[in-house]
Amino acid sequence: MLVKKEAQPARLSYFFGPGYSDVKKSIKLMWEKNAEDAEEYYEEYVASGLMSVNGLFNFSRALSIMTFGSIFSIIISIFIVVVLVLCIVPVYIMFSVVWFIDWLYLKIHKISVACSFCHSHYMSPIYECDCGRRHTDLTPGKYGIWKRKCECGRLLPTNCFNGRKNLTALCPECLKQGRVTYLNEKESRPFCIPVIGGRSVGKTAFITAFSKKFIDEVAPSKGMKVSFYDEKTKVMYQNFDSSYMQGNTVMTQKKDTRTNTSAIDFSFFVSHDKLKPTRLVHIYDIAGETFTKNEEYELPKHFTYSQGMIFMVDPFSIPEIRDNYKSLLGAEDAAGIGYADVNLILDAFIAKLRSVTGIKDTQTSDVPLAVVISKIDSPGLKEIFCEEKLNEIMSRPENKHMKNSDAADILCREFLSNNGAAGFINSLDMKFKKTKFFYVSAIGHERSKGAYEPKGVMQPIEWIGELTDKGFVEMWED
């Protein structure tokens, strides 16, 4: 069933409204004039009398107008309609072509909006004119093919090729909830990665390390330009920079999700002459309480459209590992252990994923899941997660020509299996079609002992990108 589109605060194009009205008026006026002339001569005939010469003349004139005037009126009416159709058909064809090209361009380049506030996902936002009028469907159509005229008189571009992205944009879903959220998407392609895990597993440290390394080192070295989404994300990055230099992190505060969303969104644009369209990277930092206490009032909508997800695992949350290695930790690192049961975190995560995507218990998710073991710089662990161990795995006969990343996946799985987490691995493989394990050290040393020295923070996101946005990741992979 076709859904009737909302009327727009714009003037209809001539061929989508006024043109029909003008033709109708012209034809109606012609017929009215024809009838009026015939009636005038008929009245003169009645006044002169049938037997008079003047009466017969006027009667003939009236009859002629009624007969031949009607025939001519029909011919002219048909001619006018044909001319209108001949003019309208090319316009309608042009409108359809431009609309389709605009739609196809957005689809092919995967241009869409992922609202940083409500996390709703949609193809087009609402565009606001300088006068404040809001256009909910600013696409080629009956209000204009290339441009439309707002009720205030301003011409607005209607497609992605003539400057529509430069207009003020708003989130339609936020407006439905009574909020006004201005967007800076600029018709870009989103690259969304939620970072999931319990409290104190190293999510914020990972995001800090990745962001600093990508923005300060990787992007400039590859000729890519990075710009912050808005002033708020610029301030967030300044906080990242401060934490990075001090070698610590600020714990993510769980928001009151009855009025806000539970995920903190760090967003930035990445552009390059060879990267079309511009990418808008969204990294979601979700407070651990979301999964440990189930204190989330809104559905995690970003789970439905994210390119992939990162599941952080604090190795010290696993009892056997904690028993074996906790005594080797310094006081500050020991105080920062995430104690939440990794299996309970996984169960809570899968439950939320099912609730928002609708997948059944018997189904597996298509979303790529990077499972990241954090804090591998800790005493005892750095001797396990090292180059020598990777070479040992790759030297096995069955692993000939194996890549480092695949060897790292095996190393992580064997380490967890040997320390009582085999069930955790099986649960992941049963619920997700694409999983890969990584190990990282975001800080690189004990907390507050100098600037970050991150290791392995790029690889999990690179893997997700290889599966979902290869053109983007190929530009910055080594």
- What distance in Å separates the CA atoms of residue 125 and residue 122, rounded to the nearest whole number? 7
Q: Which of 297, 270, 302 is nearest to 473 (CA)?
A: 270
Mean pLDDT of 122-146: 92
Residue 152: partners with Cβ closer than 8 Å, 6 or more residues away: 129, 130, 131, 133
Query: What pLDDT is stored for residue 6 in this prediction?
Result: 76
- What distance in Å separates the CA atoms of residue 179 and residue 171, rounded to the nearest whole number? 9
Query: What pLDDT is stored for residue 80 in this prediction?
Result: 73
Residue type at 198 in one-letter notation: G
Q: How far is CA 315 from CA 62, 151, 197, 410, in A?
A: 103, 61, 12, 16
For 403-460, the pLDDT digits (tens) are 888 999 999 999 999 999 999 999 999 999 999 999 999 998 888 788 999 999 999 9
Query: What pLDDT is stored for residue 222 in this prediction?
Result: 93
Query: What pLDDT is stored for residue 102 in this prediction?
Result: 93
Tell me how many degrees the CA angle 258-234-448 measures, rounded to the nearest 5.
Answer: 90
Mean pLDDT of 184-193: 92
22: number of Cβ within 10 Å: 13
- Secondary structure of 263-323 in HEC code, one letter for each residue: EEEEEEEEEECCEEEEEEEEEEEECCHHHHCCCCCCCCHHHHCCCCEEEEECHHHCHHHHH
Q: Which of 8, 293, 271 is nearest to 135 (CA)?
A: 8
The residue ranges of every structural domain in the chain are: 14-108, 113-183, 189-473
Indicate the CATH number for domain 189-473. 3.40.50.300
What is the rounded radius of gyration, in angstroms, for the C-alpha atoms of the chain? 34
273: number of Cβ within 10 Å: 8
pTM of this structure: 0.82
For 376-414, the pLDDT digits (tens) are 988 889 889 988 988 899 888 888 788 888 999 999 999
Mean pLDDT of 7-26: 76
- What distance in Å separates the CA atoms of residue 437 and residue 49, rounded to the nearest whole number? 107
- What distance in Å separates the CA atoms of residue 439 and residue 434, rounded to the nearest whole number? 17
For 331-368, the pLDDT digits (tens) are 777 777 777 889 989 988 898 888 888 888 888 999 99
Residue type at 118 in one-letter notation: C
